[in-house]
Amino acid sequence: MAQRLHLVFGGELIDPSRTEFRDTDKIHVVGVFPDYASAYAAWKAEAQRTVDSAHTRYFIAHLHRLRDEEREISPTELLGN
């Protein structure tokens, strides 16, 4: 079974109605988690911790969706070899 990794990250947004960060150098990487449940718990803790900041948002990125091992590699991936 394939591992389903999740990345939790967040920071201050330029506008709370968009997903553009004010300063990408200040993005808070909470961590990489082995399943959605643990990622959700980490996301929820950070979201609750920053609830008073309307411009701060946290996200869960489904890292396992970024790469499908069954598909051929892209030309960009060939550059790394």
pLDDT at 1 over 80: no
Going from N- to C-terminal start, the domains of the chain cover: 6-78
Residue 36's φ and ψ, nearest 5 degrees, are -65, -40
Q: What is the pLDDT of residue 51?
A: 93
Instruction: State the fold for domain 6-78.
Output: Alpha-Beta Plaits (3.30.70)
Give the pLDDT score at 58: 97
**Which pLDDT does position 65 carry in this prediction?**
80
pLDDT single digits (tens) 33-72: 999 999 999 999 999 999 999 999 999 999 878 766 666 6
pTM more than 0.85: no
**Three-state secondary structure call for residue 66:** coil
- Residue 64's H or E segment, with its range, is none
d(CA 24, CA 3): 28
Helices (H) and strands (E) counted in the chain, each on its own, are 2, 3
